[in-house]
Structure 1
Amino acid sequence: MIKRNSLFICAIVAIFSCSFSNASGQQTLRQQIADIAGNISGKVGVYARVLETNDTVSFNRDEKFPMQSVYKFPVAMAMLKQVDAGKFRIDQPIKILKSDLTTDGHSPIREKYPHGNVSLTLRELLDYNIRESDGSACDILFKLMGGPAKVNAYVQGLGVKQINIATTEQAQVQRNEPATQYKNWSTPLAMTQLLEKFYTMPILSDSSRSYLLYLMSHSGPGAKRLKGLLPAGTVVAHKTGTSWTVEGITAAHNDIGVITLPNGNHIAVTVFVSDARATEEERDATIAKIAKAVWDAYAH
């Protein structure tokens, strides 16, 4: 009886020791993130979750941050949901008029077809929207789905409430109306929740989920952000968002995504940097250092 009680006590001690160790490790990681965030003039928000273990770390997780082009990720999800529902076909040609093109901001479609009058498939538009972060592609997708409010309703319907999609790309890239971009906002917690739902739940068909993962894994912008300090070859399915820099202040410099760890686990992570008085290199480095700290904590 004494031996059995001793074994029980040892087991309880081991459980509490393990819990204390995990909590201590998370606190150490949070402090690392706080230290990194403290080295840049601006607001930083972080939420990361290991999808297989539910380990989390956060910093300003419930604060609202402007998304900029990060919102092209839920825009793509909403469109692919309509493809799954049979409302559109992935290879359906979409007629593009000059009036469909954004007049400012990044748009390879506008650069290539400045007068419009061209048809691109829905698959091509989704590719431009994610891999090139093309503003015209995003607004054409909005137009097809009935506007930002429809996409916002889709996200809210998934149970993710702290994301607000309110304006088009054309509206948020206007330099003379910088406040508009703040209408498209998310908390770090909510964006990571959306990533987790996308990655782990059957809210899209297998083919739609795989296609969006492919686009995000081959996205061009932001190579020095989440991916910047991770080992070469690390799979990072991500979407960036970047605003103009006006009078030395960059309203949004973001990266969100799912990182595949060497042990086979996956981290859904959001890093938002807002209202920063810093160079592009400093903003990139802030995101990269945070991603590396998270990687180091959970990679083993």
Structure 2
Amino acid sequence: MLKHSFLASALFSLATSPAFAQTESLEQRINRLLVAKKATIGISIYCFETKEAVSINGNEHFPMLSVFKLHIAMAVLNEIDKGRFSLNQRIHVKPEDLLPDLFSPLRDEYPNGNAKIPLAKIIEYTVGKSDNSGCEILLELIGGTQMVNKYFRKAGMKDICIQVNEEEMHKNWNDQFLNWTTPVSAVEVLKLIYSRKLLSKTSSDFLWNSMAATSTAGKRIKGNIPVDAVVAHKTGTGRTNQQGITAAVNDIGIVASPNGRHFAVSVFVANSLENIETNEKVIADITRLAYDYFLTSSK
């Protein structure tokens, strides 16, 4: 479990003048941004065109929260690629599958259950709308969290650990920290999605479109970049306890600019004493620094 830090463990700062913009590295610019933030913050950024990478606390463990829904969707899509399921397959969703106390647009659409819903729609809702009922349905379909871990272990990725489902995470504060990854590992997953090396082209395209349709937390990765940039991402948000500590505010994704350049970014803000607006702005501002550095420079 992450230990709470009242300061970001790496003290960094952001340059504000044009002169700095010409001389400072991206890591130095991010340095200034994180000064005095009352949170533990992990960052990994990778530009596909230049192969440059930036990592801050990149190998530390951070709670995933709903980011893990992306990993679950990938494991299900892998089973589809193997012929075990199909995107057009209709899944019988029972009333008890639609969790009453958790966020679920799927439950709102099918309040009485007893519906046969295409697997493609359940995945889209789970990834793009962060649907908790959809998440549990996918986990049950695939055989539980251990199957997701097995999938990523087989792909050679060790820094991903998924032990509990959404319902369990919501029951116990400490359980929010049982599903963890590292910022670097999150970007490695994004690189595999981008390169289509882990899933078939059909599944990769479907996953990309589901991520690009994400409607949650628009003030994070998408919050401070041009509106014509394409963002395929997955968010995650933890609860806040009585001491004012927020377990996690996360976003990972791929940003594509109109000029054809792309970068992957993962930002995990954990054990934060900042308010939600500050936590989200940290993610937005880091993404903007990377956008300006990688996607608008002449290199």
1:76 paired residue number: 73
1:188 paired residue number: 183
Deviation digits for residues 8-58 of structure 1 (CA, Å, limit 9, x no counterpart): xxxxxxxxxxxxxxxx98973212223222242111100011123210011
Please, what TM-score do these two structures have when normalized by structure 1? 0.88
Q: Does 1:230 align with 2:216?
A: no
Say if 2:39 and 2:270, in contact at 8 Å, map to a contact too: yes
Query: Quick one: which of 123, 126, 143 aligns to 2:120?
Result: 123
- 1-side partners of 2:207 and 2:200: how far apart? 11
CA deviation after TM superposition for structure 1 residue 109, in Å: 1.9
Deviation digits for residues 150-196 of structure 1 (CA, Å, limit 9, x no counterpart): 0111112111111111111111122xx11001010010001101110
Say if 1:44 and 1:274, in contact at 8 Å, map to a contact too: yes
- 1-side partners of 2:114 and 2:260: how far apart? 46
Q: Does 1:58 align with 2:42?
A: no
- 2-side partners of 1:91 and 1:164: how far apart? 29
1:289 paired residue number: 285
2:267 paired residue number: 271
Secondary structure at the counterpart of residue 223 of structure 2:
coil
Alignment of 1:2-151 (within 5 A): 28-151=25-148
Secondary structure at the counterpart of residue 205 of structure 2:
helix
Larger radius of gyration: 1
Q: Does 1:220 align with 2:185?
A: no
Deviation digits for residues 81-110 of structure 1 (CA, Å, limit 9, x no counterpart): 111111011111101112222343311122
Please, what TM-score do these two structures have when normalized by structure 2? 0.88
> Structure 2 unaligned runs (5+)?
1-20
Deviation digits for residues 91-146 of structure 1 (CA, Å, limit 9, x no counterpart): 11101112222343311122333442222110110111011100110110000000
When residues 31 and 105 of structure 1 are mapped into structure 2, their CA distance, relative to the original with a 3 A threshold, is farther
Say if 2:128 and 2:210, in contact at 8 Å, map to a contact too: yes
Choose between structure 1 and 2: higher helix proportion: 1
When residues 42 and 235 of structure 1 are mapped into structure 2, their CA distance, relative to the original with a 3 A threshold, is same
Deviation digits for residues 59-82 of structure 1 (CA, Å, limit 9, x no counterpart): 110111100010111111111111
Say if 1:261 and 1:267, in contact at 8 Å, map to a contact too: no
Say if 1:229 and 1:289, in contact at 8 Å, map to a contact too: yes
Secondary structure at the counterpart of residue 238 of structure 1:
strand
- 2-side partners of 1:26 and 1:47: how far apart? 21
Deviation digits for residues 257-297 of structure 1 (CA, Å, limit 9, x no counterpart): 01113432211110000011122111110000000111111
Secondary structure at the counterpart of residue 80 of structure 1:
helix
Secondary structure at the counterpart of residue 228 of structure 1:
helix
Secondary structure at the counterpart of residue 227 of structure 1:
helix
- 1-side partners of 2:124 and 2:177: how far apart? 25
> Structure 1 unaligned runs (5+)?
1-23
**Aligned partner of 2:285: which letter?**
K
When residues 173 and 56 of structure 1 are mapped into structure 2, their CA distance, relative to the original with a 3 A threshold, is same
2:12 paired residue number: none
